[in-house]
């Protein structure tokens, strides 16, 4: 007998919201388990920064714990504190490092593991451990080619030699971040792999982590002891690999059906002139809701990829966006559905099982990460799960 489906609601009242964001926690858990299988012997953590990529850490984290995840990565200590409430027994790493001596005490109180990015942060964490009577756990982040955060190779070598003598730090993870994992054949991947192998050798016996979502599908050489999937958990296609289950579905409410004549124009700037009599569905979603203006059907001079713009999905068909997306409203050409096929109150899928997240992002000239984390709070949210999750 199938498990009973359970729904949990959040955000504005569904009757009053301009759209619906449905988060399928069952799909999230299936993605975690699939990635764990690919990772093999490597431990699989969950990256839940930016409020679990915009989907709500308060629901996502417990679902991942149910699926077997016991290690999480966040960007900020405030995020870590929120995750700690949802996962009391988990190990939680803070990628952004330490925000000064006073902040370090908060990390220790919440049992957050800072990712040390500088020698100054290392000194602060040493002092916190010394004051507490024992070194607190930390991760050591070494830059191997990203030039974002992390110790240089020279700094990492000096820190490793120093710590071998003093034992002032207790590193529980050594890590780096891939810059080009989305491009499987990019030479930077192999260069970073070799550099990270040298880093690992400096910290003998400390678990190592290099692979993000796309890094996982680069192969076992990149897995080391722990992998850190993020976007793949939420339905993105890491490195172009398909097979992740869609987790988030957005649908906008239709608030008006219009009939326009050939020769008329649509939306700001009059950037599209209708070539036929057209049925227009006006949907209650716009760039204030995360529906990027670059998805507009026309009038986006900065978009070089395609003039076509984005699409919606309704009643089994794709329908193109007409003209510029506005702050609160988007127009769709629904002529092919026929007169009377749609009514006020119906909804149009913006991305989900019929228009995949990566496809919608590509139509906007961006990436799935940005599209997900841009989703506003004006949509009603519904979390779907099973009563009896393993």
Q: Which of 89, 107, 268, 369 is catalytic?
A: 268
Query: Is 53 among the residues known to form the active site?
Result: no
**Catalytically annotated residue among 32, 49, 107, 383:** 49
Which residues are CB-contacts of 5 (< 8 A; sequence separation ≥ 6)? 384, 385, 386, 387
49 a catalytic residue: yes
Report whether 74 contacts 259 (CB < 8 A): no
144 is written with which tokens? 């191997």
| Three-state secondary structure string covering the chain | CCCCEEEEEECCCCCCCCEEEEEEHHHHHHHHHHHHHHHCCCEECEECHHHHHCCCHHHHHHHHHHCCCCEEEECCHHHHHHHHHHCCCCEEEECCCCCCHHHHHHHHHCCEEEEECCHHHHHHHHHHHHHHCCCCEEEEEECCCCCCCCECHHHHHHHHHHHHHHCCCEEEEEECCCCCCCCCCCHHHHHHHHHHHHHHHHCCCCCEECCCHHHHCCCHHHCCCEECCCHHHHCCCHHHCCCCCCCEEEEEEEEEEEEECCCCEECHHHCEECCCCEEEEEECCCHHHCCCHHHCCCCCCCCCCCCCCCEEEECCEEEEEECCCCCCCEEEECHHHCCCCCCCCCEEEEECCCCCHHHHHHHCCCCHHHHHHCCCCCCEEEEEEECCCC
Annotated binding site: 148, 327
Residues annotated within a binding site for substrate = 148, 327
Q: Which two tokens stand for residue 32?
A: 């975690």
Q: Which residues are catalytic?
A: 49, 268
């Amino acid at each position: 007998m199938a498990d009973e489906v359970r729904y949990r609601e959040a955000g504005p009242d569904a009757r009053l919201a301009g759209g619906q964001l449905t988060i399928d926690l069952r799909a999230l858990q299936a993605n975690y388990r699939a990635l764990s299988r690919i990772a093999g012997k490597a431990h699989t953590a969950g990256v839940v920064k930016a409020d679990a990529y915009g989907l709500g850490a308060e629901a996502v984290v417990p679902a991942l714990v149910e699926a077997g995840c016991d290690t999480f990565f966040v960007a900020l200590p405030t995020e870590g504190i929120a995750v700690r409430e949802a996962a009391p027994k988990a190990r939680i790493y803070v990628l952004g490092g330490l925000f000064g001596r006073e902040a370090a005490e908060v990390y220790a109180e919440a049992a957050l593991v800072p990712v040390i990015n500088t020698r100054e942060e290392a000194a602060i964490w040493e002092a916190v451990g010394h004051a507490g009577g024992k070194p607190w756990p930390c991760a050591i982040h070494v830059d191997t080619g990203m030039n974002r955060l992390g110790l240089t190779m020279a700094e990492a070598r000096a820190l490793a030699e120093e710590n071998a003598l003093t034992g002032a730090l207790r590193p529980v993870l050594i890590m780096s971040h891939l810059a080009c994992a989305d491009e499987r054949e990019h030479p930077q991947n192999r260069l970073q792999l070799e550099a990270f192998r040298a880093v690992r050798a400096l910290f003998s016996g400390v678990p190592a982590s290099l692979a993000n979502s796309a890094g996982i599908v680069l192969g076992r050489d990149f897995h080391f002891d722990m992998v850190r999937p993020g976007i793949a958990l939420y339905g993105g296609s890491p490195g172009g690999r398909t097979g992740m289950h869609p987790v988030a579905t957005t649908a906008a409410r239709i608030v008006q059906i219009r009939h326009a004549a050939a020769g008329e124009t649509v939306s700001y700037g009059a950037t599209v002139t209708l070539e036929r009599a057209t049925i227009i569905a006006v949907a209650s979603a716009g760039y204030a809701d995360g529906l990027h203006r670059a998805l507009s059907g026309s009038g986006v001079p900065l978009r070089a990829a395609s003039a076509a713009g984005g699409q919606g999905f309704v009643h089994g068909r794709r329908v193109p966006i007409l003209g510029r997306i506005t702050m609160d409203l988007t127009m769709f050409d629904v002529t092919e559905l026929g007169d009377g096929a749609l009514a006020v109150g119906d909804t149009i899928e913006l991305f989900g099982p019929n228009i995949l997240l990566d496809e919608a992002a590509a139509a906007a000239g961006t990436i799935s990460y940005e599209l997900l984390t841009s989703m506003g709070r004006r949509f009603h949210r519904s979390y779907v799960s099973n009563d009896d999750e393993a």
